[in-house]
Structure 1
Amino acid sequence: MKPIDLNQAERLLIVKTSSMGDIVHASPVAAALKRAYPHLKIGWVVEDRFTGVLEGSPCIDRLHQIPYQLIYFRTFSRAAWQAFRSLVREIRAERYQVALDLQGLIKSAIWGALGKVPVRLGGHRMREGTWLFMKRLPIPDLPNQHVVLQYLEATRWLGVEQPLPVEFPLFIPEEARQSVRTKLLPLGITAAFVSMNPSAGREWKRWHIANFAELSDRVEAAFGLPVVFVGGPGDKPLEEQLHRLKQHPLRSLIGRTSIKEVMAVVAQSAVHICGDTGTAHLAAAFGVPCVALYGPTNPDRTGPFGQRAHVLYKRPMCRRCPPDRCLRRECLQWITVDEVLQSIADVLQDASTYACSFNS
């Protein structure tokens, strides 16, 4: 296959609808394309629950939002079909010439096809018969190559010179930063702090909540840094458990922040601690030290990308089963509080780490 010359194209559509971490991992593709082709207008199809990750990015000119709750949970309602048709018309109106699908699923492939994009390309993994809707780029699917690098391989076939820097074109408005400072003040936080996210999209990606409670108490005692918890509205039960389990007062913004504000909290942290979840990738994108706790999934492939990410996992102790066929799902729980505390201590050895960007 010959590389496609985008010098002759004016509009390109990226399709990566979910989830937070996957969208962060794919975002350097937009940066690489915009750097190589400044004239190119780049659109992105994304579920509205993750729009905040990409809003304001200097490398994305248009966001096409899928109304997640409406289309996926009220699929056969009149409102869902109206929203669906409206989004299709919106994409068609942009007259994209090339679509790059980095999701590789039916739920992503339909947008380029129904949007009447003439050239539709798929990334390294195409499933669910998506080959019927687009042409697969000849990208090797290497099990231990990070997905950030595999996504960027797609740009090679779009005429972008290699190698190229990995840039995460994410944007945090000053309003979100100021809002976070305001919300942290009643919690007694005016300087360096540690952030923790006890949640994850699936149960087997969650370290026990009692461990997070103990860890936060010990971090505050050992390093004199306040710990603030973040999470979505659906994580309120975890907040209640933390309140019962912690010995020190609970500082929590769980359910009280937008995605942009979560991004601001993570970006201003001295260190971020979490499981296999999207905030790990936000921390890596912002260059914030991160201690991420992994279970069955392969951190070499889908872990936080970059030198400041510290991943703890015990997978070599088990039989390395695929996450979707892992029967016991115990390996994440083999990680001890002592081990995580030691990793945090290693991160904080650099005194400059304490000088978080609270006032930036």
Structure 2
Amino acid sequence: MKQLISAPQLAQAKKILVITHMAIGDFTYMQMCFRALKRAYPHLAIDLWVDERRRTDNPAEWPHLKNYSLFDWLAASPYIDKTYTETYSPALYAQSIAAAQREDYPLVVSFTHMACHRYARLAREISPRGYIVGLKKHKYRFFELSKILSILKFNATIPLYESQEANVPHVSDIYAQWFTSAFGLSIPPQDRYPDIHIPDQWMDYARQQLADWKLGAKVVFVNAYSKGEERCWPLERVFALIEEMRSHASWQDAGFIINVVPEELPAAQALYDKMAMPGTHLFSAVDNFFQLPAILSLCSLIVTVETAVMHLANAVHVPVIALMRQNNPEWVPIDRENSTVIHVRQFGDWVDKIGLPEVMEKVLARPLC
């Protein structure tokens, strides 16, 4: 496989900019690739542009976009030197471009798999004289001339995987292949497995929180929220699941933590006040990203829809039952031994098609640690 950015280029450059539209699930796996790049070229400052595709000029939307919890993790990463995170409003986006232009990056890589052509234009705008590499679709139609011309702004390209291809590889393998193509890195499978260092401050917080809740050794974490409505599970069904689990001897003394995204807390609290059983608590990582993996690491079982929580479960080595659609098989949890996946029956079905009996069957089939 041809290495698109040569070893001499990487050795001579002092810094590189990587452009992404990254979510927590992406970084769970891609951070291992950044680690490999940093180890291979320790002198190279790796700066990261996190593009916000929900960019808006509506000020009411800015607070939750500004405080995206992923940014806490990126700020703590030993592999990332600088992060551009203020891309959520048109004005800040323009200011961020100007700041990046002043850095005069000799190398820019776009690992953005949606609207690749737009990021070719962005990469070239940021680095008019630099060597830029990016992803591109396998084929463009004749009427997509503007996209083709935009892609030509890249000095070299990496073919984009297609999510619906047969036998699509796991996302960790896809990311490793991107870094191999761009930088010539060898990232063996065992080095693609997600890992997360949780600062002591947040582990102490998690232990104290479980103590305050008077939860014992057996704790179940349940998450029904995802960014896309099609991947969410009804919160009412979470309470029904807890009631059903409590009816079985193996789980009757368990404590339960229900994860809630911050913007849904008022509605979740109202439902909790009506339906919650003793030993059940709402949780939301409102102060810092690391609250979430710290709490997860102390649980006995995690039940979650298709979102970052299921990947973080693998990173903290806690068994997980994941409720997934069929649309993105590359995103199944990587740890097969500690993961149970429940897929919807039909392609295109939403996760809410998965019923309580299907989940309980997997809960009861999983041996307790």
Say yes or no: does 1:207 pair with 2:207.
no
Counterpart secondary structure, 2:38: helix
Pairing of 1:1-360 with structure 2 (within 5 A) = 2-3=2-3, 4=5, 5=7, 6-46=10-50, 48=66, 49=68, 50-68=70-88, 71=89, 75=90, 81=91, 83-105=92-114, 108-109=119-120, 111-116=122-127, 118-123=130-135, 125=137, 129=147, 131-134=151-154, 135-138=156-159, 141=162, 143=165, 144-157=168-181, 158-161=183-186, 163-164=188-189, 165-168=191-194, 170-189=196-215, 191-222=217-248, 223=251, 224-236=253-265, 237-248=267-278, 250-254=280-284, 256-298=286-328, 300-307=329-336, 308-315=338-345, 318=346, 320=347, 326=348, 329-330=349-350, 332-347=351-366, 349-351=367-369
Identity of aligned residues (%): 20
Report the TM-score when normalising by structure 2: 0.78
Contact 1:181 1:190 (C-alpha < 8 Å) held by counterparts: no
Q: Could you list the per-position Cα deviations for residues 115-151 of structure 1 after superposition, in whole angstroms to 9, with x for gaps in the alignment?
A: 2171222236589936254342146547321222111
Structure 2 gap ranges (5+): 53-65
Q: Could you list the per-position Cα deviations for residues 59-117 of structure 1 after superposition, in whole angstroms to 9, with x for gaps in the alignment?
A: 2222221253xx1xxx3xxxxx2x23432233234443322222234565555333217
What CA RMSD, in Å, does the superposition of the two structures yield over aligned residues? 2.9
Contact 1:267 1:286 (C-alpha < 8 Å) held by counterparts: yes
**Aligned partners of 1:210, 1:231: CA distance in 2, in Å?**
13
**Aligned partners of 1:304, 1:94: CA distance in 2, in Å?**
37
Counterpart secondary structure, 2:283: coil
**Aligned partners of 1:281, 1:95: CA distance in 2, in Å?**
35
Structure 1 gap ranges (5+): 76-80, 321-325, 352-360
**Aligned partners of 1:110, 1:249: CA distance in 2, in Å?**
53
1:205 deviates by 0.8
Tell me which moved more, 246-255 or 289-298.
Answer: 246-255
Contact 2:218 2:254 (C-alpha < 8 Å) held by counterparts: yes
Tell me which moved more, 51-60 or 5-14.
Answer: 5-14
**Aligned partners of 1:231, 1:286: CA distance in 2, in Å?**
20
Report the TM-score when normalising by structure 1: 0.79
Counterpart secondary structure, 1:252: strand
